[in-house]
């Protein structure tokens, strides 16, 4: 069996917590692996649950015995509650994130405006502040270019 063989690179004498080396050339060996997983600790419980479910299924199919039909109702209402709770949590997270982002964008916009107001610029910017817009094109210099790139 592929899942019972030891992975390459792992010696039988190594204890818990040691590195497990996997042979990733075969996906089937990775899927059916027994050593290095939780299967050695849980296979008995898994087998018992499987046998119990198989017995309950066989009893229900061949003897006509029913455990009841209220399970769907309980399961459905519980799932609906969890879905509503999850949707409510997701909505709260969305609005919280949206509020934070709106604050960040507002502060960034305010920072840009403060920088534009506080930056002196060159002769064209001084002409614009003095509302001489016709002369501002001819007066543009290096300082105005730097101020417009901010």
pLDDT tens readout for residues 97-146: 999 999 999 999 999 888 877 776 666 666 666 665 555 455 566 666 66
pLDDT per position as a tens digit, 19-37: 666 777 888 877 787 777 7
Dihedral over alpha carbons 118, 124, 126, 127 (to 10 degrees): -140
What's the pLDDT tens digit per position in 39-97? Answer: 888 889 999 999 999 998 888 888 877 766 666 677 778 888 888 888 888 999 999 99
Global pTM value: 0.35
- pLDDT at residue 141 in the model: 63
The set of residues, in sequence order, having a beta carbon less than 8 Å from that of 77 and lying 6+ positions away, is: none
């Amino acid at each position: 069996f592929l899942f019972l063989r030891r992975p390459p690179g792992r010696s039988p004498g190594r204890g818990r917590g040691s590195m497990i080396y996997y042979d990733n050339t075969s996906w089937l060996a990775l899927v059916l692996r027994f050593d290095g997983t939780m299967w050695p600790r849980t296979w008995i419980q898994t087998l018992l649950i499987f046998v119990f479910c198989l017995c309950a299924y066989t009893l229900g199919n061949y003897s006509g015995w029913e455990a009841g039909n209220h399970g769907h109702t309980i399961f459905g209402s519980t799932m609906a509650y969890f879905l509503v709770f999850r949707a409510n949590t997701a909505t709260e997270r969305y609005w919280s994130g949206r509020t934070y982002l709106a604050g960040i964008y507002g502060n960034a916009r305010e920072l840009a405006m403060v920088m534009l107001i506080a930056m002196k610029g060159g002769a064209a910017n001084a002409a614009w502040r003095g509302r001489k817009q016709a002369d501002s094109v001819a007066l543009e210099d290096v300082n105005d270019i730097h101020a417009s790139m901010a």
